[in-house]
């Protein structure tokens, strides 16, 4: 077939430029939907076969972007491993973007999505509603873990209230009554929810809330956590247990407690969150709330692929179960060295 | 200007299809060099302005891929931070690929580079020569840290022989004579070089080599390192110092030594490598050889951008300096808890 003549015919009939028609032939989905329909109508009228487009769809735009706020927190590696396995099974590549998304960075972020031909985005970032909407207009988005519920976009997460309640219930079951929480910044949904779970647990056990035991640490940072913990355990009425909403905080707590010549868990029991690989490398090893990280990755990626393929059935958000992994930092019957 | 007519003219004169000309107009560098030259020649003959291409160049293909073998090793986060800062300053986005590159994965990897419009690649992976060549034919490559010297492609790295010699010299300066090395797999250049440095140091100090003290651990894995270390310290003639070529190995060594009721550093001093953030979270804190991680990232990215821009001056590979950060695992005069 003579391409030049054909493009001319389609162009005349559809009133779409030859350049756009050529782009459509190479990358059908890089052309606006209306334009695509005009071209397809013209092709049909000319008796041309347009079935190649369905094949194109499956071989192009095969990159999925997994966006995280920071590489330093080891929790992401296992979530990404799950997402990657799911992506590769479905013939997608997975690339990781370490980017915070805000008013300042949004334009570059969207440029990156376009330049890299991203088919979809998984994000573990907290994203303001207007920016999330803007991104979702460019590519399908699935939120993983931290999520904004304003747009009713689908997400995969854990039930932070339940997970937190379970952790504090466990500390209470050990006979602890003065339980502190080392929490993250309350602008995060997870931090809000874990505070609620903490409070619910204490209320159920008739333990009065002591606001001096509630610490909000402005970011996931080891040094700030050490300083906060130092103040906490040098109060007149020091806690007998600490619920740390991140294992990094738990490591900081244990280090600080030991530096103050107190014993973990005898004087102060410590429970962390995320069950990152460091929890069994420290002395004592760290009891932790385990998120199903690999599954979070798998489910968020498979939901994203459903959205990319525009499958009919409406997507339901998911909440996965957590478990408590008991180690030396709460259990003095486990040998501590 | 009437695009359709113009494209027809260029096509006739250059003998290049309209579709390709249209692609060239949108993304000049997605078209082969020869074809590009044919089109440009025709445009010149027709008296057309082709200066827009230089502008196109700066706004397209603005993604740099940073390839690492695994997210789990925390060393990469700081190298990537350096590369990202350099990329962003030069108006590139940086995406991270966590991919091992071998005969099985090479096709998918190259597809990913093409689909995502990568302008260039920085890799910390060990890549066989033929595959490295194949990749370098698609995009400019800079090797960072681990590198293959067969193709004389530019790299940024540390001097592993010198760094290793420095570490062992330091242990000898503390009066240690029975120094073990926990090394990585010898297929890696860094492992070969660090073994050479270890041997050079012992030879300089007239300490005879004891092959029982040389341990090769098949991958950077905490559990395997613990098992290896357990065997090592339960030998009749146990070491009085361990040089671990990775901080993860050092953490494993310290844990195992403590479990065997020995003291670090009094019975066995331990030095790690990479100075990852975990080294000051453990008890005792860990002495470590510090790579200039952020600088490795900066330099590799700025060299890549030079290659992308095809700057005239030939690129020289670089070797950056390391430092030893002294902490409790080798220094009993630092308070150990």
Q: pLDDT of A324-336, one tens digit each?
A: 999 999 997 776 4
Element (H, E) at B125: none
Residue B252's pLDDT is 96
Would you give the distance in Å from CA A272 to the centre of its chain? 18
Give contacts of B76 with chain A, Cβ < 8 Å: 71
Token pair 């130092």 is at which residue? A230
Residues B132 and B274 occupy one common structural domain = no
Chain A nearest-CA residue for B61: A115
State how far the Cα of B73 lies from the Cα of B145, in Å rounded to an integer. Answer: 14
State how far the Cα of B110 lies from the Cα of B99, in Å rounded to an integer. Answer: 11
Q: Do B17 and A25 touch (CB under 8 A)?
A: no
- Name the residue among A11, A17, A115 with its Cβ closest to that of B63: A115
Total CB pairs under 8 A between chain A and B: 138
Pick from B221, B260, B281, B337 the residue to mutate for testing the A interface (most A CBs within 10 Å). Answer: B281
Pick from B8, B95, B277 the residue to mutate for testing the A interface (most A CBs within 10 Å). Answer: B95
Residue A58's pLDDT is 46
Question: How far is A21 from chain B, CA to nearest CA, in Å?
Answer: 9
Tally of domains in chain A: 3
**CATH number for the domain that contains residue B268:** 3.40.50.2300
* Helices and strands in chain B: count of H runs, count of E runs: 12, 12
Give contacts of B117 with chain A, Cβ < 8 Å: 115-117
Residues in chain A: 337
Give contacts of A252 with chain B, Cβ < 8 Å: 281
State percent of chain B over pLDDT 90: 68
For helices B106-115 and B129-138, angle between their N-to-C axes, nearest 10 degrees? 20
Q: Do A93 and B115 touch (CB under 8 A)?
A: yes
Residues A126 and A191 occupy one common structural domain = no
Q: Is the dihedral of CA B10, B12, B14, B16 positive or negative?
A: positive
Give contacts of B255 with chain A, Cβ < 8 Å: 281, 283
Residues A51 and A184 occupy one common structural domain = no
Average confidence (pLDDT) over B109-123: 94
Residues A49 and A190 occupy one common structural domain = no
- Give the domain-ending residue among B11, B26, B58: B58
Residue B25's pLDDT is 81
State how far the Cα of A154 lies from the Cα of A121, in Å rounded to an integer. Answer: 12
Residues A197 and A330 occupy one common structural domain = yes
Q: Do A116 and B93 touch (CB under 8 A)?
A: yes
Residues A74 and A111 occupy one common structural domain = yes
Structure confidence at residue B69 as a pLDDT band (50, 70, 90) = very high
Residues B123 and B220 occupy one common structural domain = no
Q: pLDDT of B182-236, one tens digit each?
A: 999 998 999 999 999 999 999 999 999 999 999 999 887 899 999 999 999 999 8
The CA-based angle A319-A72-A100, given to 5 degrees, is 70
Residues A170 and A288 occupy one common structural domain = yes
Q: Are B180 and B243 in contact (CB under 8 A)?
A: yes
Q: pLDDT of B245-272, one tens digit each?
A: 999 999 999 999 999 999 999 999 999 9
State percent of chain B over pLDDT 70: 93
Residues A218 and A288 occupy one common structural domain = yes
Residues B186 and B285 occupy one common structural domain = yes
- pLDDT of A38 strictly over 60: yes
What are the structure tokens assigned to B209, written together? 């080599």
Residues A300 and A253 occupy one common structural domain = no
In sequence order, what are the residues at sequence separation of 6 or more whose Cβ sits closer than 8 angstroms to the Cβ of residue B137?
A: none
Termini Cα distance of chain A: 79
Give the structural domain span for A23: 3-58
Give contacts of A81 with chain B, Cβ < 8 Å: 71
Grouping H, G, I as helix, E, B as strand and the rest as coil, residue A320 is strand
| Radius of gyration for the alpha carbons in chain B, expressed in angstroms and rounded | 26
Structure confidence at residue B23 as a pLDDT band (50, 70, 90) = confident
What are the structure tokens assigned to A16, written together? 């779409």
Q: Are A209 and A199 in contact (CB under 8 A)?
A: yes
For chain B, give the mean pLDDT: 90
Residue B61's pLDDT is 62
Question: How far is B5 from chain A, CA to nearest CA, in Å?
Answer: 10
For chain A, give the mean pLDDT: 90
Highest-scoring range by mean pLDDT, A26-40, A93-107, A312-326, B302-316: A93-107
Give contacts of B96 with chain A, Cβ < 8 Å: 71, 95-98
Q: Do B115 and A61 touch (CB under 8 A)?
A: yes
Q: What residues does B273 pair with on adjacent strands?
A: B289
- pLDDT of B1 strictly over 60: no
Q: Do A18 and B7 touch (CB under 8 A)?
A: yes
- Name the residue among B19, B95, B108 with its Cβ closest to that of A25: B19
Burial state string for B200-209 with b = 16 or more CB within 10 A and e = fewer than 16: bbbeeeeeee
Q: Do B111 and A252 touch (CB under 8 A)?
A: no
Give contacts of A19 with chain B, Cβ < 8 Å: 3, 7, 22, 25-26
**CATH number for the domain that contains residue B32:** 1.10.260
Tell me the ipTM for this assembly.
0.79
Chain B nearest-CA residue for A226: B281
Residues B329 and B306 occupy one common structural domain = no
Grouping H, G, I as helix, E, B as strand and the rest as coil, residue A197 is helix
């Amino acid at each position: 077939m003579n391409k030049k003549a054909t493009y001319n015919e389609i162009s005349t009939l559809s009133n779409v430029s030859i350049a756009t028609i050529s782009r459509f032939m190479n990358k059908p989905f890089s052309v606006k939907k209306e334009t695509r329909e005009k071209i397809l109508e013209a092709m049909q009228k000319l008796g041309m076969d347009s079935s190649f487009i369905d094949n194109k769809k499956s071989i192009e735009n095969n990159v999925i972007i997994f966006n995280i706020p920071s590489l330093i927190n080891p929790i992401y590696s296992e979530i990404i491993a799950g997402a990657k396995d799911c992506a590769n099974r479905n013939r997608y590549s997975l690339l990781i973007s370490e980017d915070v998304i805000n008013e300042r960075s949004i334009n570059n972020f969207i440029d990156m999505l376009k330049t890299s031909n991203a088919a979809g985005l998984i994000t573990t970032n907290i994203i303001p509603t207007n920016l999330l909407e803007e991104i979702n207009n460019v590519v399908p988005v699935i939120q993983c873990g931290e999520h904004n519920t304003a747009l009713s976009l689908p997400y995969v997460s854990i039930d932070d209230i339940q997970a937190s309640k379970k952790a504090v219930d466990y500390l209470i079951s050990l006979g602890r009554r003065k339980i502190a929480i080392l929490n993250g910044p309350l602008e995060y949904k997870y931090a809000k929810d874990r505070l609620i779970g903490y409070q619910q647990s204490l209320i159920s056990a008739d333990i009065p809330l002591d606001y001096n035991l509630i610490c909000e640490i402005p970011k996931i940072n080891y040094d700030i956590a050490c300083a906060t913990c130092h103040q906490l355990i040098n109060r007149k009425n020091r806690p007998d247990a600490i619920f740390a909403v991140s294992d990094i905080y738990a490591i900081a707590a244990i280090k600080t407690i030991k530096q103050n010549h107190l014993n973990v868990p005898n004087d102060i029991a410590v429970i962390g969150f995320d069950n990152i690989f460091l929890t069994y490398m420290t002395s004592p090893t760290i009891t932790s709330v385990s998120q199903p990280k690999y599954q979070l990755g798998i489910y968020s990626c498979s939901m994203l692929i459903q959205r990319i393929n525009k499958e009919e059935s409406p997507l339901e958000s998911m909440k996965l179960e957590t478990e408590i992994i008991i180690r030396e930092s709460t259990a003095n019957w486990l040998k501590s060295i």
